[in-house]
Amino acid sequence: MRLLVLGAAGMLGSDVVLTPGDHDVVGLSRRDADVLDVAALEHAVEAHHPDAVVNCAAYTDVDGAEADEDGAMAVNAVGALNVAEAAAEIGATVVYPSTDYVFDGGKREPYLESDPVSPRSAYGRSKLEGEVATATVPRHLIVRTAWLFGTHGRNFVETMLGAAERGSLKVVDDQVGCPTYTRHLAAAIVRMVGAETTGIVHTVGSGQCSWYEFARTIFARANTEVDLAPCTTAEFPRPAPRPAYSVLRSQRQDVPVLPPWQQGLDEYLAERVAA
């Protein structure tokens, strides 16, 4: 099976390219195939003629999207439709990584694929529109995930380790979710593509924690001493509202269960040292 990965220079896209399994994987960056350039996109898809197109091209600046919702919508929704239609034209499956931000965070038990969506942020709205656009073609796989960290992009682990130099930190403890190592997620995506899984799935690191608990574990695993204290979201305001609770679980039997997020963190730190 041949996979074409768009947005292959990004954090998740890079790991999908590096996790081929038994498949032939081709990765294209935005410079190679911009999802907003329909002609170039169609040419790339036709030239490589994949069995599946993994659309990792995304506008991921959650706070920036509040002031640039049109820009987020362009990439995450219009671009998603362009990719879906180009894939459908050659009979390929399209894979669209989505987000916990499509939910409002008001629930207090894990969100399932069948739960109603209600995004509170511009970013969440743009990703939901991308889901809707992707689902207009018959063969689609929408992978909702959360709290990504990996060695090929900016992420919370690096932010914490960099901030440790200040000696003391406050991290919010009233937002709860599922940290997800991109190598684990990439392997799950490749596996689901090979199994011809379709529809909407939730795929995140097993377990849950607050950002404060995540930070505390990062410093412990990295043997880094820092004066760390919890704080509330109200004490650390951001332009985009965050879901207070965004734990995802799958109600489907055909979705891979990812390793615990702590294992993902350990592997990330080892990969980081090796790099």
CATH code at 129?
3.40.50.720
Number of domains in the chain: 1
- The answer as to whether 272 is a domain residue is no
Known catalytic residue at 123 = yes
DSSP E strand stretches across the chain: 2-6, 24-28, 52-55, 93-99, 140-145, 148-149, 168-172, 176-177, 180-181, 199-202, 209-210, 227-231
What pLDDT was estimated at residue 82?
98
DSSP H or E stretch at residue 43: helix 38-48
Spot the catalytic one: 59, 96, 101, 123. 123
What pLDDT was estimated at residue 167?
85
- The answer as to whether 41 is a domain residue is yes
Q: How far apart are CA 225 and CA 228, in angstroms?
A: 9
What tokens were used for 186? 């990439």
- The answer as to whether 234 is a domain residue is no
Residue-range definition of the domain harbouring residue 61: 2-147+179-205+248-258
What pLDDT was estimated at residue 136?
98
Q: How far apart are CA 63 and CA 71, in angstroms?
A: 12
Q: Indicate yes or no: pTM above 0.85.
A: yes
pLDDT tens digits for the chain (275 residues)? 999 999 999 999 999 999 988 899 999 999 999 999 999 999 999 999 999 999 999 999 999 999 999 999 999 999 999 999 999 999 999 999 999 999 999 999 999 999 999 999 999 999 999 999 999 999 999 999 999 999 999 999 999 999 998 889 999 999 999 999 999 999 999 999 999 999 999 999 999 999 999 999 999 999 999 999 999 999 989 999 999 999 999 999 999 999 999 999 999 999 998 88
- The answer as to whether 106 is a domain residue is yes
Q: How many CB atoms lie within 10 A of CB 158?
A: 16
Q: Which amino acid is present at 264? A: G
